[in-house]
Structure 1
Amino acid sequence: MARRVLHVGPSETRGGMGASIRRMCSDPPDGWSADAIPTHADGGIWTILNAWRIGRRRLSRLIRDDPPDLIHIHTATRFSWVRKQACIHITQKVGIPTIVHLHSGDFDQFTESWLGWPRRSIRKELKRTSVYPVVLTQQWKEWIESLGIDGAYVMSNPYRNDILHTPPEKRDRFRLLMVGRGNNSKGHRIAIDAVNQLNKFGIKAHLDILGPSHKEIPTTGNGISVHGWVERRRLEEISAKAGLLLVPSTHEGMPLVVLDALASGLPCLVSTTSAEFIGKGGRVVDSLESSAWADAIQSIIEADDEWKRMCQEAPLAVQGLDSESNRIQWGELYDSIMQSDSRLGN
């Protein structure tokens, strides 16, 4: 009989964390079945609060009536952590082994805010006996160890298993792409200003922005198209034409959009927050000034041979990060946690 893992997090919302949960539920490890309880919803504050109220109630009821073998909590920072802290309390009342999966790329900043409460809270919750922290990279493992939390597991995000590779001959290197939510941290204004500067100097670059609405980004410029959220097929059509993905973020965890782009042969121009993921399949800009991004974009799109080399190198940067390998790794971790937890007598 298969063991059951319950995912707790934004399983029905847009964005990388929601996509990760849906993938893990649709294709769980061998010997496991998976389900999810959503704790967040796209929309205004009342929609979010209602989703959290319903999710917390469902979690409490399920643990009481039909407890799973393992709970996998997915969390970002700020109010996402506040909600997930409450979920940890619920699961630990009955001692169910619980993975706490840190997805965000700004936990270090978060722990220094709110008068230090996040640091104290994270240390307390992640050091509980039946709580097993998971981070995205070795860098975040070292950071969490600096808080005095040992034993964290590193599990990288995978790229989508149905990614189609597009050769450089079918791409337009003057066509730029951004994909993601309209959060200020994603750096849309940096990219927009950079493209406007290029066009001002006669370099006819075009930027497609997928995710934010016109309301979220009201002022753009010539050569910039804001598409909002689009269906997967439309996303793939636009991505297949693009010549460069822009990621001028102030912080990132392990962005799925970068992994998917590299796997498809699309080079990436990223801020330092994503530097460790791109290998030779892109370039890093160590500034968040739009002028620096304009210069970097220009240097790439005007060097055809270098751009083609990055297209060829991009898939090599994500070798071993395919979805099937990731599924197997999660299965090994789940089984290891169950064995460890039983040895502890929990």
Structure 2
Amino acid sequence: MQHISSADEAWYGVGFGLQGEVVVFDGKTGAVTSSAEGGGGTPRDVAVDPDASRLWVLEENEDASGGEIRVCPLDEGAVGACAHAAWVDGGAALFATDGGLWVFEQGAYGPRWKVLREGTIAKGVYAPRPASVWREGDRMEVLSYGVNEDRLTRMSGTLTENGLVVTTGLDLGAPALQPPTARFVPLSAESGLLWDVVGGDIAARKVGAQSAEAAVMLGVGPGIERIEAAAVLGGAALVLSTNTLWVVELGQENGGLGVTAIALGGEVRRAGTFFSRDLATAGDRALVATDQGVRAIVVEKDGGPVFLDERFEGSSLRGPLWVVRAAN
């Protein structure tokens, strides 16, 4: 998941309106600044090129048996008319890079990864679907549930002259739930936090280059059913469940975990097949998409106040979400 780190930088959000239209909105107020007509399907994912010149939209057809990828020009935050880019088989998710658009599919012939590049035919590689995804240099890094959803595994994808190469990394053991809901957040190139639900409570495990530490329980259960997404912002971990954002202070001297719960007033979409795009972070705030609108949560650094921004007008906005740094 992408993040804009400075609270002072100008940025805007990309999401969807009530009729499925692509919208660009002010990240501080929620006001829509431009929009483009949707393609008629259900919005399932969105990604923006690193240079913010284009955004990619994945729309799912009515029976979720396939979908369409559309590409829309961006010009200083103004979105233009979208055009057809590719069809997908079954469910899918996107990640835009300088080298091309990564497409993760879960179709009739199993899970596949491919990269769309102009002037080339994308060849898929058989690989488990990602539950979390992030970039480390030229590599696409993934937390996978495994082909049979029975092993949590780190995997890497690299685009070479001969095509896409996928390698298997650290085995993190069996997921705590079936179907699994574990999510991974990188802290550095060598470490990260693995979040899962254990016995109706949220559990965190520190993951290093070679192994994972024992789980630490947050003590917010019982009753937690799922984790949809997770991120790090301002020295805190953000863990998104079905209707609550848990803000967990990291690095406390006593080794404890200070936790703040923010009730969202709506249900978060179940990300059962791929990673979620209903949590995005920028500056000092998190944006969360629910069925009642997009909510903005302010998370100040170093254990400062955490609160819902009641001035943010997001009732007409829907996910999936992306955030973009505005041009200077």
**Superposed pair shares fold, TM > 0.5:** no
Specify which structure has the higher proportion of helix: 1
TM range (shorter): under 0.3
Specify which structure has the higher proportion of strand: 2
Q: TM-score, normalised by structure 1?
A: 0.26
Larger Rg: 1
Q: TM-score, normalised by structure 2?
A: 0.27
